[in-house]
């Protein structure tokens, strides 16, 4: 990675275990694809409903050659995301899938749709 990876906490206390887990996930992405030039992760807890659970929101911004990949995971209905580590795992899994798609596009392995068929009708066959 050309720039230092960043982990930000949006209106939640800084947790070094979460920061370390996010940096480990970033390192795994970098081992998977060496075209990552920068990464920024934002950990937030936008809805703090004490009766409905406190669900985590993770945003992963990846700067790659040829573009930028943004994964924004707001899990409003998934109660498993009351655990920040599960939310991190799912967000980075989605980032990996998008990174795979981006790498396929760069290699030109994306399936091209067939063009419209064009035919020519000879004049003598018309009534």
Q: Domains in the chain, ordered, with CATH?
A: 6-107 (3.30.160.100)
Tell how far CA 35 is from the center of its chain: 15
Residue 87: pLDDT band by 50, 70, 90 thresholds?
Answer: confident
User: Would the pLDDT of 30 be above 70?
Assistant: yes
Residue 103: pLDDT band by 50, 70, 90 thresholds?
Answer: confident
pLDDT score of 4 = 82
User: Would the pLDDT of 45 be above 90?
Assistant: no
d(CA 76, CA 123) in angstroms, rounded, equals 64
Residue 1: pLDDT band by 50, 70, 90 thresholds?
Answer: low
pTM given for the model:
0.75
Tokens 């694809």 belong to residue: 33
User: Which is more confident, 127 or 45?
Assistant: 45
Burial 39-61 (b: 16+ CB within 10 A, else e): bbbbbbbeeeeeeeeebbbbbbb
Q: Considering just the CA atoms, what is the radius of gyration of the chain in Å?
A: 22
């Amino acid at each position: 990675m050309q720039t230092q990876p960043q982990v930000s906490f949006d209106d939640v206390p800084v947790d070094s275990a979460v920061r370390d887990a996010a940096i480990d996930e970033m390192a795994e992405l970098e081992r998977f694809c060496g075209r990552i030039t920068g990464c920024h992760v934002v950990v937030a807890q936008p809805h703090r409903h004490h009766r409905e659970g406190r669900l985590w929101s993770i945003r992963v911004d990846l700067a790659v050659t040829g573009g930028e990949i943004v994964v924004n995971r707001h899990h409003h209905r998934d109660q498993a995301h009351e655990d920040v580590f599960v939310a991190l795992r799912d967000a980075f899994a989605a980032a990996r899938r998008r990174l795979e798609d981006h790498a396929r596009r760069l290699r030109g392995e994306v399936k091209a749709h067939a063009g419209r068929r064009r035919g020519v009708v000879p004049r003598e066959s018309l009534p």
